[in-house]
Structure 1
Amino acid sequence: MVAKSRFFAIEQIDLAFSNGQTREYERMAGSGRGAVMVVPMLDHETMLLVREYCAGTHSYELGFPKGLIDPGETGEQAANRELQEEIGYATEQLQHIHDVAMAPAFFNAHMKIYLATGLYPSQLEGDEPEPLEVVPWPIADYQNLLSQPDFNEARSIAALMLVRDQLAQQQELK
């Protein structure tokens, strides 16, 4: 451990590779529980996004509800909790879409991406410092969403494309 704050711990790793090369790496230690991101569908055509302050870029960003998996929670429980905290809806159906790694060269953290359907009003108190702006967006207009200057988080873009493909496959099966 080379540094630690309230939120992050930085570890140093000294490695020797099979060809004799050695390297010193630093990485941020993850919590091990992971995180979730949810693409909530209000109806067959409308996604719900949130606009919230992001300290890393000191800007307001548009993305999907997300958060850490709390101790004792499953990914599904965390996803449903985050929906209620961030957009004021719970879900009747969560479908796991994919797991993604977040900057694996520097950070040992994983995120589960879910599709939420069958939304119904349900609000839980969240940990955000201000109310989040909920932004409905037609999934058919995803290309316009991709052109928005505040929709640029790689995880949200990946979730959008994965869910768009999943919904298209489900439609083809009908």
Structure 2
Amino acid sequence: MSRTPPIIHGTRRRAEDRNVEELDLEFSNGERRLYHRLVAGGHGAVVVVPMLDDDTVLLVREYAAGTLRYELGLVKGRIDAGETPEQAADRELKEEAGYGARRLDVLRALTLNPTYMSHQSWLVLARDLYPERLVGDEPEELEVVPWKLDRLDELMLLDDFSEGRSLAALFIAREWLGKQA
């Protein structure tokens, strides 16, 4: 069922937390509510699926302060001002995994929690890789782990592979690649 979005009567940033925006909304049934959402700073982010070959994706293991442990996942990072998702994906790939890509395809946008966050990440498939490293903001070189796409059922159950964007991106990329073959 398609619905008309609510009327926005006003928005304001909360003084105590500038990342929280209050929206004064009126729904089609006349009900009015004050919603809160986290507003993303910057220009979004990229989640990169780097394909070493037709069957192998490159994952990286890096320290995750949110879980206080090392996590296995995809290359990811923010889109800098003036960058396209493809440019950001190529830069992040060089910084985190030591590869550049000759072919970059934006597959779709992913949201983290659209009910209260405005943040979007662009899923970018990177192929035809070549070795090239750029200095990034990581405090240590990341471990690069090749993983066969036909073993996603094993990967999704690993304790240290818990990031939802990485999991969703791998399944989306696998399906997209299958339809291209």
- 2:72 maps to which of 55, 62, 66: 62
Percentage of identical aligned residues: 49
Unaligned runs of 5+ in 1: none
Amino acid at match of 2:127: T
> Who is 1:91 aligned against?
101
Q: Please give the alpha-carbon distance, in whole angstroms, between the structure 2 residues aligned to 1:166 and 1:152.
A: 22
Q: Please give the alpha-carbon distance, in whole angstroms, between the structure 2 residues aligned to 1:27 and 1:170.
A: 38
> Who is 2:63 aligned against?
53
> Who is 1:42 aligned against?
52
Contact 1:32 1:109 in 2 (8 A): no
> Who is 1:139 aligned against?
149
Q: Please give the alpha-carbon distance, in whole angstroms, between the structure 2 residues aligned to 1:104 and 1:170.
A: 29
Q: Please give the alpha-carbon distance, in whole angstroms, between the structure 2 residues aligned to 1:106 and 1:51.
A: 29
> Who is 2:136 aligned against?
126
Deviation at 1:48, TM superposition (A): 0.4
Deviation at 1:32, TM superposition (A): 5.4
Q: Please give the alpha-carbon distance, in whole angstroms, between the structure 2 residues aligned to 1:101 and 1:142.
A: 21
Q: Please give the alpha-carbon distance, in whole angstroms, between the structure 2 residues aligned to 1:117 and 1:21.
A: 49
Q: Where do 4+ consecutive residues of structure 1 move more than 6 Å?
A: none
Matched, 1:152 2:162: yes
Q: Please give the alpha-carbon distance, in whole angstroms, between the structure 2 residues aligned to 1:161 and 1:9.
A: 31
> Who is 1:25 aligned against?
35
Q: Secondary structure at the match of 2:135?
A: coil
Q: TM-score, normalised by structure 2?
A: 0.86
Deviation at 1:98, TM superposition (A): 1.6
Q: Please give the alpha-carbon distance, in whole angstroms, between the structure 2 residues aligned to 1:98 and 1:20.
A: 34
Q: TM-score, normalised by structure 1?
A: 0.89
Q: Please give the alpha-carbon distance, in whole angstroms, between the structure 2 residues aligned to 1:140 and 1:108.
A: 33
Unaligned runs of 5+ in 2: 1-12
Amino acid at match of 1:37: V
CA pair 18-44 structure 1, distance change in 2 beyond 3 A: closer
- 2:178 maps to which of 165, 168, 174: 168
Matched, 1:72 2:82: yes
The RMSD of aligned alpha carbons is: 1.6
Q: Please give the alpha-carbon distance, in whole angstroms, between the structure 2 residues aligned to 1:106 and 1:60.
A: 28
Amino acid at match of 1:31: G
Q: Please give the alpha-carbon distance, in whole angstroms, between the structure 1 residues aligned to 2:68 and 2:37.
A: 23
